[in-house]
Amino acid sequence: MHRSRLVGIVIDCQDGDVDRAAAFWSAALGRPLRPPDPDSPSYRELEDAGGEPVVLVQRVDHPSRVHLDIESDDLEAEVRRLEALGAKRIGFVHRWWVMEAPTGQRFCVVNPQRGPIAGKGRAWP
């Protein structure tokens, strides 16, 4: 058995100025920006009001879009579960899988982002 849940919404910005993009989304969503992480220069994170999904703004090379992140305590089991539903693996990037839904939307399956998800995520056989 493994667990998974929606953890984040990622705003992919092809524009090279991730700080300008993050400032826009911070103001638009009313969520202050967290200080930049020097180990992740392509990402900016917006504060949450507690219990809401993480919102990240990231600089990307592909066209701008929004995608979801699903976190799981067993990455491979979650990817196989989603493949059984019709999703396909696009590629493994750093520590996560980029997937594509049967309807064409891209999303990522990631390791836990907010600590253990036991008791918080959906349990799957």
Give the pair of three-digit tokens for residue 93.
């990037």
Q: Is the pTM of this model over 0.85?
A: yes
Question: How far is the C-alpha of 96 from the C-alpha of 73, rounded, in Å?
Answer: 12
Question: How far is the C-alpha of 33 from the C-alpha of 20, rounded, in Å?
Answer: 11
Give the pair of three-digit tokens for residue 76.
């491979």
Could you read off the pLDDT of 5-38 as tens digits, one per residue? 999 999 999 977 999 999 999 999 999 999 999 9
Kindly state the percentage of the chain with pLDDT values over 70: 100
With a CB cutoff of 8 Å and minimum separation 6, the contacts of 32 are 26, 46, 47
The rounded radius of gyration (Å) of the Cα atoms in the chain is 15
CATH number, domain at 61? 3.10.180.10
pLDDT for the residue 49: 76
Give the pair of three-digit tokens for residue 74.
């067993």
Q: In terms of residue numbers, what domain contains 55?
A: 2-124
Total number of domains constituting the chain: 1
